[in-house]
Structure formats: structure tokens, C-alpha cells
Structure 1
Amino acid sequence: MKRALILCVALFRLPLLASPIPDFPFVNVTGASDIEVAPDTATITFTVLEYNEDPGEATATVNSSLRAITDEVITLGVEASGLTADDFEKRAIRIQTENNQPLEIKGYEVSREVRIKIEKIENYTAVVQVIMKKENVGSISSYFDTTRREEIELELVGKSCAEAKKKALVLSKGVGVDLGGVFAVSDTDFSSFGGEFGFGYGGGGMLLGGAGRSDAPVFVPATIKLYASVSVLYRLGSEGVAKD
């Protein structure tokens, strides 16, 4: 009866395991931890876009805008190596003709996605203002991060494992058995919550946070949240009893 009860508890708490169920009593627990830290780096992503009846002229305008932005942000302290751009994208803009004739090409939309890595967070606001003042720039978003991410992630994993073990001890004592050793452990993805801000592209102008103008204030968040969680499978019973 006790073994059946233990297996029921284990099955109920096993949403993350894809492998076959072990043939011994076990319990699966998760532990999580997070911390808020001040960001010290940022990556800005945006799209330079131009429409023209002549695709060559549209491409030239995109190149001109990109060169202007590059020159300005470099003067603000951004490293040239921190600027990257994807290949050009070209989309034909078509209109419906009379009498259901084949769609006629009205012009072409040429675009290019660009990313700027800002190593010094104090340069962020000035760089964003340069980008937002350009008429043919849209889809602006920013991702904030910390150079201490790897160090912090290791600390969070340790705390998450400790929390998972506490949960496992409570469950094992609740059913009157010893907590055994670890059979399996896995870590889930790390995430950064509150570290992303989006700027909408509104046809005739730029929108910040759903409202405002291109000269609306931009800011660096005071903190970003780093998060880690682990899933641990413990044996139940006297074999390989875990130490408190």
C-alpha cells in the first residue's frame, strides 16, 4: 500500500520527464530562484526600411540611412565590431487592377535588420535617440543584460538545487520514508524577465510603449530579473539515503 501511494505521488509530480518511468520508488521535484541585478550592457535591434518604385533607389536609401546611423553611434562610443546587419530583404508591393487583371507591381519595399551591441550602458539613451530620429527606421527593440550572467547563473542553479532538496525531504517525510540519492537532475533554460522593451512601428511615425513621439524619453531599467530552475529526481527508501 505504501509503495502504491509513493508511486502515485511521484507520477503526479512528474511533468518534465520524457524518459521511461524508473522501476523504483521516486519523487520528482523542482526548485527555482531568481535575482534582480542592474544591467550593464544592451543590444538594440531595428529595421531600416524604404519604399520606392525603383528597387535600386530603395536599396540606396537604406544603405545611406544605415551609414548615417553607423557614423553617429560610433561617435557616441559604440565599437564598430558591435554593429551587425542581416542581408537585404525585398518585397514587391502589388495593387489590384481593373477587370481582375494580373496584379500590378506598384513598387518595392527594401529592408535590413540591424543590431547594435552597447558595451557601456551609459551610452544607451543617446544611441536610441539617434535611431528613433530616422524617418525610415522601425521595429525597434532593446535587450538588456549583465556581463556577470554566467557567474550569477551558477549561483542561481545552486540555490534552486537546494530548494528542490528541501521539497523532496518534506514529501518523503510526509509519506514516512527516507529520501534516497539523486537519480537524475536537469536544468531548464535561463531567462531574463523585464529585460526587453519594444518600440512599435506605426506607419506615419514612431511609437514608444504604445504612445508618444520619436522624442519621447527612453531609459535603462533599474534592474533585470535572472531566473533559473532545476528538476531533480530522488530515489525513495533506504538505498543511498541523502544527507540533510
Structure 2
Amino acid sequence: MKKLLSLAIVALFSLSAMAQQVDLRKKINVSGSAEAEVMPDIIYISISLKEYLKDGNSKKKVEITTLENELFKAVQNAGIAKENLSITNLSSYTAIAQKKKNPDYLASKQYRLKVTDLNKWNAIIDEVDAKGIAYTNIDSYDYSKIESLKKELKIKAMQAAKAKATYLVEAIGDKLGSALDIQEINNEAFPQPMYRSNVMMMKAEASDAAPAAEIDFKKIKLNYVMNVVFEIR
């Protein structure tokens, strides 16, 4: 009997606590959005250099160091910081060992170059032996002020949500209170670069001056939605 009475008291207190936790405040749930489109101003290009035999003569090889020096010099002449050019394929360092085993081995190296102007890239590629270029293509691109733009759009979306909630609440004669809950939804679109001819910007397997393909850049689109719950006073 005492156990049943104790259980009843516990259940009564539990129901009372649950009733006290029920939020009886009047609320309004709205959303605000803001979006923007920007052109990419940072471009990452991959470059693959490969040794080749001059005129098909196995004794006359164009060394990878020669091709590298041409690339380094071209980057410097274009006014691009050397830090913007980096080796991306660690297997490139095995070339020395491979050459010792096989004198006919044709070494290759892959690089990644950061540019802000494709005209500079065209100037760079013109200074490198076309036959020593296995391929080049665009890896990705970005916008230099992307973080400040994101912040600006989120603020605008939040302000839009508040403005909407304000005129809706005032339409029924009430006043808008504080924000009780905020949820952020983002839709960021970083489309891949589109090529009018081929996936590769250049492939110089058979030509000394293979033309670069034209590239269509699509804008980076940012869209933010803020879902906000406001108290109605």
C-alpha cells in the first residue's frame, strides 16, 4: 500500500513538472532569404609535364628538369608568386630511382597552379615546350571574398525574416518579441568549369602548338535561408 501511494505521489509530481514545462508563449515561425552570384576570381589549374624523345631518337631525351625550369621561369615572368605553384604528385620523386633501373624511363611530374587571370595562364603555357605537356586542366575555382559575402547574405536573410515577422504580427495588433530559435539553411553552388571543346585545355601529344580550349565559367551562386521563431507579445 505504501509503495502504491509513493508511486502515485511520484506520478503526480511528474505530471505537475511536465505541465510547468509546456511553453504557452505565442510564437510566429518565418523564413527570410538572400542570394548573390559572383564570378570566380581564383582558378586552380593542374599541369602535367612529361619527358619525351626528340624526333623519336631514344638518345635525345628532353629532361623533366628542362621542362620544369621552363615552367618555373614562365610563372615568374607572369608575375605569379612561386608559392602558387606546387607539386601535387608525390610519385614524381621516384623518377630518379626509376631512371637508374631503366634508362629509357620517361619521368613525369604534376603541378597545381593558382592564378587570378587566365590571360596570365595563356602566357605561361606559351613559354613551355608543348611536347613536354601531357595535359592541363582546371581543378577548381573560388571567390576571394567568399567568407565576407556569406556573412553579408546571412545578415540580410535574418533581417528579411525579422521584417516579415514584424509586419505579420503588427497586422493582428501585436508586437514582435525576441527570437526564440534560429536555423540556417544554405544552398551553395560551385559549378564545374565547362569546356566548349574537350575536358582538357591542352593536350600536346601530336602537335607543337595545340590550341587551348575555350572555357565557360558559370557564376558561383550563394543562397541562404534563415528560419526564425519569434515570440509574439
- TM category (shorter chain) comes to 0.5 to 0.7
For 2:89 and 2:212, how far apart are their aligned partners in 1? 30
Aligned AA for 2:230? R
Q: 1:124 to 1:205 in 2, by over 3 A?
A: closer
Which residue of 63, 72, 75 corresponds with 1:73?
Answer: 75
Q: Which runs of 5+ in 2 are unaligned?
A: 1-20, 53-61, 93-104
Say what the alpha-carbon RMSD is for the aligned residues. 4.8
Query: In 2, distance between residues paired with 1:167 and 1:140?
Result: 46
Aligned partner of 2:90: which letter?
F
Look up the match of 1:215: 211
Task: State the SS of the aligned residue for 1:42.
Answer: strand
Question: In structure 2, how many angstroms separate the alpha carbons of the residues matched to 1:28 and 1:191?
Answer: 21
TM-superposed deviation, 1:144: 4.4
Q: Is the 8 A contact 1:42 1:124 kept in 2?
A: no
Deviations 1:55-82 (A, max 9, x none): xxxxx96565444322222222111111
Q: How many residues align?
A: 184
TM-score of the aligned structures, taking structure 2 as reference length: 0.53
Once the 2 structures are TM-superposed, how far is the Cα of residue 117 of structure 1 from its aligned partner? 1.8
Distance 1:219-1:47 versus aligned 2 partners, 3 A rule: same
Distance 1:179 1:61, change over 3 A: farther
Distance in 2 of aligned mates of 1:194 and 1:229? 17
Matched letter for residue 71 of structure 1 = K
Q: Which residue does the alignment assign to 2:43?
A: 42
What amino acid does structure 2 have at the position aligned with 1:227?
L
Distance 2:139 2:90 in 1: 21
Which whole-Å deviations, capped at 9, do the CAs of 1:91-143 have from their partners, x for residues lacking one?
Answer: xxxxxxxxxxxxxxxxx997654221225665243235557945543351154
Query: 207, 215, 235: which one pairs with 2:230?
Result: 235
Higher helix share goes to which structure?
A: 2
> Any idea what SS the aligned residue of 1:163 has?
helix
Q: CA deviation at 1:185?
A: 3.3
Structure 1 match to 2:182: 185
What's the secondary structure of 1:153's corresponding residue? helix
Matches for 1:1-244 after TM superposition, within 5 Å: 24=23, 25=27, 27=29, 29-36=31-38, 39-48=40-49, 64-89=66-91, 112-119=109-116, 123-127=120-124, 133=130, 135-138=132-135, 140-141=137-138, 143-168=140-165, 179-187=176-184, 191=188, 193=190, 196-197=193-194, 200-201=199-200, 205=203, 214-216=210-212, 218=214, 224-238=219-233
**Residues 46 and 176 of structure 1: is their aligned pair in 2 closer, same or farther, counting only changes over 3 Å?**
farther
In structure 2, the CA distance between the partners of 1:219 and 1:139, relative to structure 1 (3 Å rule), is: closer
Runs of 5+ unmatched residues, structure 1:
1-21, 52-59, 91-107, 207-212, 239-244
Contact 2:186–2:225 under 8 Å retained in 1: no
CA apart distance, 1:231: 2.7
1:175-212 per-residue CA deviation (whole Å, 9 max, x = no partner) reads 9976542234355568464574566249x947xxxxxx
Judge conservation of contact 1:35–1:226 (CA < 8 Å) in 2: yes
Alpha-carbon contact 1:141-1:197 (below 8 Å) kept: no
Taking structure 1 as the reference length, the TM-score comes to 0.51
